[in-house]
């Protein structure tokens, strides 16, 4: 079965997938919350984003966390940086999921960080984009922080280039194409709220130069609440009284998170790994239930190593973590790396069906003016079409202009030998695709959008940040539902509710 036109719109990739907060099928009996779950509450996608606010070596940093309470996936994330750098790029947000992104001020600059991020709200009617604008000036600027949230007009799912949306949301007013609410956060901190077309978007942020932005998108109708949140619905949610406060809403969501966190903890066998662990157990060894790339957070596990924390704490001028998720039922074997500049700190590993692995590269301490670039390759073992899948990265040590480049592609069928040297890197970075190597590449500077390459039943998608310390997220998925990893297929078949992944292959 091939992907339909409508379905292919929704899952552009599961890069940094924000997975549903619950890891088991819906139940009407709330679970008892263990004390350690309350203390070590699971944060989906980027568990260490709050710690990175103060531990990234930058004077101005902003972490943006977005929670999706609706039954609609938020897809096609798009970032427009007006100033600053993007360290952790956003992913899609599944129903009842959360995503975190991290931005900071430019290197050796006095300005802060400003820009917009948006997602397409995937529903059959009212297709539109959810927009968020942030401004965190430097400590030398007299202006305070600002946050805006809003929705595009029905049918408008475009993401305009450059700073048009930012300028409108920061200094302009709502119009027929974009409605929004804006707030300034200096001495007073009050939540902002925008409501339209069945959606309510709430937001709040801090007042300093190292701040956290929290955004919650929830439906106006209880029927549109994420299926996994419905069992935990309380009298606070969707009652006859619509004047409930944002603070109450936050408490309710924390309660929901802790309850499903208890289920997550009791349902897992791979304790001792956080959500961004470098070596994640394969799906077959854990209870998958809509969480095929997450794992239980345990702050007491000293062996746990986070790729995100390495980005800023490696002591190197340039660092790049490359996270690869394998949605197919074919394993990715024989990993190899060709480094044209820099060094490999953590080598890649085999990526089992339904698994995830992360490698880490950085600039060479002997050549401090250089960055890191090269290629990584895996052989995809699908019997009839064995070939190499390539990822090319280029993260320079730009002192004035920082332009990162990412490429994804596949060798010709039967080509499973990675040639030595930098020939593949040079082709993917500077030249054009050929019969022996097909690929897509893009530069990540002010605008951040996914790249995609598809051939012979396999889709490779990627996205990356814009600074010197960046994360690359790669997803390899099949075009046919039957070629999904067994754990993912089993989860879909066992689900008693609408499963967002199944929509891709409907």
Kindly compute the dihedral angle of the four CA atoms of residues 197, 135, 91, 386, in this order, to the nearest 10 degrees: 130
How do residues 382-408 score in pLDDT, each as one tens digit?
877 899 999 999 999 876 677 999 999
Q: What pLDDT is recorded for position 211?
A: 83
Q: What pLDDT is recorded for position 206?
A: 80
Specify the CATH class of 46-259 in words: mainly beta
Half-sphere exposure of 136 (CA within 13 A, CB side): 28
**pTM strictly above 0.85:** no
Q: What pLDDT is recorded for position 398?
A: 75
Helix (H, G, I), strand (E, B) or coil at 120: strand
Cβ atoms of 81 and 102 within 8 Å: the answer is no
Alpha-carbon distance values, 266 to 31, 34, 296 (Å): 10, 9, 10
Alpha-carbon distance values, 363 to 102, 316, 340, 366, 445 (Å): 21, 6, 11, 9, 19
Helix (H, G, I), strand (E, B) or coil at 121: strand
Q: Exposure string (b/e) for 93-116, b if CB count within 10 Å is 16 or more?
A: bbbbbbbbbbbbbbbeeeebbbbb
How do residues 225-256 score in pLDDT, each as one tens digit?
887 776 554 444 454 333 333 333 444 444 44
Q: What pLDDT is recorded for position 176?
A: 94
Domains in the chain: boundaries: 46-259, 283-487
Do 46-259 and 283-487 come out as alike in CATH topology? yes
Q: What pLDDT is recorded for position 457?
A: 92
Q: What pLDDT is recorded for position 61?
A: 84
Q: What pLDDT is recorded for position 236?
A: 44
Which residue is listed with tokens 């209880």?
Answer: 222
DSSP assignment string, 397-464: --SS---EEEEEEEEPTT-----STTHHHHHHHHS---SSEEEEEEEESSEE--EEEEETTEEEEEEE
Q: CA 21 from chain center: how many Å?
A: 15
How do residues 34-52 score in pLDDT, each as one tens digit?
222 222 222 234 445 666 6
Measure the CA–CA gap between 214 and 66, rounded to whole angstroms. Answer: 6
Q: What pLDDT is recorded for position 382?
A: 82
Measure the CA–CA gap between 346 and 448, rounded to whole angstroms. Answer: 26
CATH fit for domain 283-487, picks 2.30.110.10, 2.60.40.1120, 1.20.1250.20, 2.60.270.20: 2.60.270.20
Cβ atoms of 402 and 468 within 8 Å: the answer is yes
Q: Which residues of the chain have pLDDT under 70?
A: 1-57, 107-109, 139-143, 187-188, 230-312, 314, 366-368, 399-400, 491, 494-506
């Amino acid at each position: 079965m091939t992907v339909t036109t409508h379905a292919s719109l929704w899952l552009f990739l599961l890069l940094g997938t924000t997975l549903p907060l619950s890891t088991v099928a819906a139940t009407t009996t709330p679970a008892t919350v263990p004390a350690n779950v309350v203390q070590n509450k699971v944060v989906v996608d980027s568990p260490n984003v709050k710690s990175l606010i103060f531990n990234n070596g930058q004077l101005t940093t902003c972490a943006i966390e977005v929670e999706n309470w609706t039954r609609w996936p938020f897809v096609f994330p798009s970032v427009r940086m007006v100033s600053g750098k993007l360290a952790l790029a956003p992913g899609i947000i599944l129903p009842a999921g959360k995503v975190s992104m991290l931005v900071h001020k430019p290197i050796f600059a006095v300005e802060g960080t400003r820009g917009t991020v948006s997602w397409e709200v995937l529903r059959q009617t009212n297709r539109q984009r959810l927009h968020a604008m942030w401004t965190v000036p430097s400590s030398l600027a007299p202006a305070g922080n600002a946050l805006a949230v809003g929705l595009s007009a029905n049918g408008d799912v475009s993401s305009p280039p450059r700073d048009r949306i930012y300028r409108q949301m920061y200094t302009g007013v709502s119009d027929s194409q974009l409605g929004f609410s804006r707030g300034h956060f200096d001495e007073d901190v009050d939540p902002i709220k925008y409501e339209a077309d069945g959606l309510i978007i709430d937001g709040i942020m801090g007042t300093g130069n190292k701040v956290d932005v929290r955004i919650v998108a929830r439906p106006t109708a209880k029927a549109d609440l994420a299926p996994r949140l419905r069992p935990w619905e309380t009298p606070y949610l969707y009652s006859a009284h619509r004047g409930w406060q944002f603070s109450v809403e936050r408490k309710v969501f924390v309660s929901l998170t802790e309850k499903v966190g208890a289920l997550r903890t009791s349902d897992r066998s791979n304790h001792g790994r956080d959500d961004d662990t470098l070596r994640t157990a394969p799906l077959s060894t854990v209870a998958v239930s809509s969480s095929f790339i997450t794992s239980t957070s345990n702050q007491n596990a000293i062996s746990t190593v986070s790729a995100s924390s390495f980005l800023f704490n490696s002591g190197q001028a340039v660092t790049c973590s490359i996270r690869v998720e394998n949605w197919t039922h074919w394993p990715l074997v024989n990993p190899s790396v060709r480094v044209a500049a820099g060094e490999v700190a953590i080598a890649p590993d085999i990526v089992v069906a339904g698994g995830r692995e992360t490698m880490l590269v950085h600039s060479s301490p002997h050549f401090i003016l250089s960055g890191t670039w090269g290629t990584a390759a895996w052989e995809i073992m699908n019997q009839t079409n064995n070939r190499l899948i390539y990822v090319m990265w280029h993260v320079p040590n730009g002192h004035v202009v920082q332009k990162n480049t990412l490429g994804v592609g596949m060798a010709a069928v039967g080509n499973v030998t990675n040639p030595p040297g930098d020939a593949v890197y040079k082709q993917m970075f500077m030249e054009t695709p050929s019969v022996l190597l097909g690929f897509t590449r893009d530069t990540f500077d002010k605008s951040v959008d996914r790249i995609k390459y598809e051939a012979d039943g396999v889709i490779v998608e990627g996205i990356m940040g814009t600074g010197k310390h960046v994360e690359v997220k790669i997803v390899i998925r099949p075009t046919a539902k039957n070629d999904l990893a067994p754990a993912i297929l089993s989860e879909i078949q066992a689900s008693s509710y609408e499963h967002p992944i199944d929509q891709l292959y409907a």
